[in-house]
């Protein structure tokens, strides 16, 4: 189906984002969202694909820590909330004003950020698809700046916001490059763009200031030669034709 063919049965996919579900299916109680618990849960529950984030997907933890709150490698503070597992809630952005934007440096990408994705492919043994997960430029900037600050700066400091978008595209492109040869079956770009009532911004703002950066990241992602899937919550009727 991912390649446009006719499947032998109706495929089923969902994000396995419930520790309670994993406990029920596997008997394990994972602290972290890792392939060693996600892939077995998918296989036992008949879910045909496992979503595994590349390290650098903001909100996910990649090592166990103590305390209710922590600061990630981007400098954003998060609070651990069971209901939102495995994507924790941001509580304090790393920047608020134009000078913060211009002085900000994204983390060094380094190596081995896709190691759990590769492990998932090995664990799935071809019995389930593996979708790697990265985030889009809008979600990245939102977490770095905070949603309210991002909205205000689209008018007060548009150049700064675009600088953040540019950095997000570069960072996530480097993550995509680490997926080459990984054996994944697809790539999911998470990029929430709307509320239940409608899109976050006007279609004009999306067309002029958001879509160009998403398109650039998509072009890099397609070089992997696997289907690229956009995930977004919300009512996107006002911009669906653009997508």
For the entire predicted model, the pTM comes to 0.95
Give the orientation angle of helix 158-177 with respect to helix 147-156, to 10 degrees: 120
Q: What is the pLDDT of residue 66?
A: 67
43 is written with which tokens?
Answer: 């296989």
Give the pLDDT score at 203. 98
* Confidence tier at 102 by pLDDT (50, 70, 90): confident
Question: Among 3.30.70.270, 3.40.50.10860, 3.20.20.210, 3.30.390.50, what is the CATH number of 19-231?
Answer: 3.20.20.210
The residue ranges of every structural domain in the chain are 19-231
What pLDDT band is residue 184 in, cutting at 50, 70 and 90?
very high
Burial annotation 140-177 (CB, 10 A radius, 16+ → b, else e): bbbbbbbeebbbebbeebeebbbbbbebbbebbbbbbe
Instruction: Give, in order, the Cα–Cα distances in Å from 217 to each of 64, 150, 159, 194.
Output: 30, 20, 19, 20
185 closest CA partner among 108, 242, 121? 121
Residue 199 has pLDDT above 70, yes or no: yes
CA distance 170 to 190: 16
Q: Quick one: which of 106, 89, 177, 176 has its CA closest to 141?
A: 106
Residue 137: which of 88, 89, 98, 175 has the closest Cα? 175
């Amino acid at each position: 189906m991912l390649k446009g063919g006719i499947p032998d049965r109706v495929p089923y996919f969902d994000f396995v984002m419930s520790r309670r579900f994993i406990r029920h299916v596997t008997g394990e109680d994972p602290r972290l969202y890792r392939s060693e618990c996600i892939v077995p849960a998918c296989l036992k529950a008949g879910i045909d694909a496992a979503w595994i984030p590349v390290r650098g997907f903001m909100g996910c933890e990649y090592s166990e820590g103590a305390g209710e709150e922590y600061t990630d490698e981007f400098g954003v503070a998060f609070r651990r909330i069971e209901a939102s597992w495995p994507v924790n809630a941001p509580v304090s952005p790393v920047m608020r004003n134009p000078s913060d934007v211009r002085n900000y440096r994204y983390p060094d990408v380094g190596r081995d950020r896709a190691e759990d994705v590769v492990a998932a492919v090995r664990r799935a043994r071809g019995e389930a698809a593996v979708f790697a997960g990265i985030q889009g430029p809008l979600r990245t900037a939102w977490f770095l700046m905070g949603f309210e600050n991002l909205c205000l700066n689209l008018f007060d400091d548009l150049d700064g916001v675009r600088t953040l978008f540019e950095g997000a595209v570069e960072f996530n492109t480097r993550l995509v490059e680490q997926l080459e040869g990984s054996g994944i079956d697809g790539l999911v770009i998470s990029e929430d763009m709307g509320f239940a009532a409608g899109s976050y911004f006007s279609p004009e703002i999306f067309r002029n200031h958001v879509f160009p950066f998403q398109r650039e990241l998509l072009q890099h992602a397609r070089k992997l030669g696997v289907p690229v899937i956009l995930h977004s919550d919300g009512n996107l009727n006002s911009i669906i034709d653009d997508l």
